[in-house]
Amino acid sequence: ARGYYFKKLSGTVKDTIPQNESANVWYVGKLLDGYVFDTNIADTAKKYGIYDPSSNYTSLTVSYESKYELMSSEGSESGNGYVTGFARALKSMTYEDHAVTFFWSKYGYGADGNVGNNGGGVPGYSMLFFDIYVDKKQN
């Protein structure tokens, strides 16, 4: 898709995770200049100075839907929805996959961005980069 790039770095060529199943996901979200704006990995958060001791650094449990549009919520991370580019990448992955994705603001936070009270976050019209790893299937 125009404005979207996805590359699997390691993993399998298996089908994606079936609808209504879930997976544990680890990620690092960056701007193209390398600024890390979000992660669920404590060591990475500490390294990039965004660690919050009140945050729970655990894997993100993602429930898979039939289409990535159902997993996304345009421009925000509200409820169970994720920005479209992130959801699209997840839908292209299966258990034990490691991938990267780049996408323009249309698939991210759009014109408004997602700037926090401390001034950090994602400015409007920002192209985003995510490094994503999906854990092994839980029995």
Instruction: With residue 43 as reference, give the H or E element that holds it.
Output: helix 42-47
Q: In the block, which residue shows the tokens 């920002």? A: 126
DSSP helix/strand/coil, 49:
coil
Alpha-carbon gap, residue 109 to 45, rounded angstroms: 21
What single letter denotes the amino acid at residue 59? S
Tokens, residue 99: 């991938």
What pLDDT is recorded for position 74?
47
pLDDT tens, residue by residue, 93-110: 999 999 999 999 999 999
**Predicted model pTM:** 0.87
Q: How many CB atoms lie within 10 A of CB 80?
A: 13
pLDDT tens, residue by residue, 60-102: 988 888 777 777 654 444 445 789 999 999 999 999 999 999 9
DSSP helix/strand/coil, 52:
coil
How are the residues of the chain apportioned to helix, strand and coil, as percentages rounded to the nearest 5? Answer: 15, 30, 55
Alpha-carbon gap, residue 139 to 103, rounded angstroms: 33
Tokens, residue 115: 């700037």
Q: Is-contact 57 45, C-beta < 8 A?
A: yes
